[in-house]
Structure 1
Amino acid sequence: MFNNFQPISITTKAAIEIKKIMATKGIPAEYGLRVGVRGGGCGVSLMVGFDKKKESDSQFIINDIPVYIDKKHTMYLIGKQVDFVETEQGRGFSFIEQPTS
């Protein structure tokens, strides 16, 4: 089931990169973008990856990308936006605060 509420958003640049990775890196068709947290104790870090949907997940379609978020992680992700950055130090996904309208 798909929820209307979307705790995160994905920038256009990140969506292009996600779709490119899914198409060219052998990501199975039943996988989607997993957005979540890892860690504990002193804090958590936000992460992205590719994974199958699990029973404990909420499922969203964002920019035509299936997105899976463990329900326990939702509160850490509300208001975040997945972006893709390229700098002299490297390239990769990052989290920024969603712009308010």
Structure 2
Amino acid sequence: MSNNSPISFSSAAYENLVALVQQGKMPEPFLRVGMRGGTCGGTYVLGFDQKTEFDEEYLIQEIPVVIDKRQLLFVLGTEISFEPSANGFYLHKPNPIS
């Protein structure tokens, strides 16, 4: 498990994730951050999952996170935020790869 954080959480996202963990509402042991599809037309993935042999495991602000090693470059620097009015999590990449 690595302590270097390739992603970050906004305070609202962190609070909501901690609440899910404390309430036992994480259906799987890890939060998965990644990409689906191609790098040009791909979309971000955020969900709960099991760790696979291709994953790097992180403990980011007490939240267990897995990222596929092959996707790490594409999610590096991403901030996960939470929008209360939409009741949802969002991924923001400040400097997307073009």
Which TM-score band (shorter chain)?
A: 0.7 to 0.9
8 Å contact kept, 2:75–2:93: no
Counterpart in 2 of 1:53?
51
The SS at the match of 1:16 is: helix
Counterpart in 2 of 1:44?
42
Task: Measure how far apart 1:62 and its partner are.
Answer: 0.5
Please state which structure has a larger fraction of its residues in strand: 1
The SS at the match of 2:26 is: coil
Alpha-carbon distance between aligned partners in 2 of 1:26 and 1:4, rounded to the nearest angstrom:
24
RMSD of aligned Cα (Å): 2.1
Matches within 5 A, 1:1-101: 2-24=1-23, 26-28=25-27, 31-40=29-38, 43-87=41-85, 90-97=86-93
Alpha-carbon distance between aligned partners in 2 of 1:81 and 1:18, rounded to the nearest angstrom:
14
Alpha-carbon distance between aligned partners in 2 of 1:40 and 1:27, rounded to the nearest angstrom:
28
Q: Which runs of 5+ in 2 are unaligned?
A: none
Alpha-carbon distance between aligned partners in 1 of 2:39 and 2:8, rounded to the nearest angstrom:
27
Structure 1 residue runs of 4 or more that deviate by more than 6 Å after TM superposition: none
The SS at the match of 2:84 is: strand
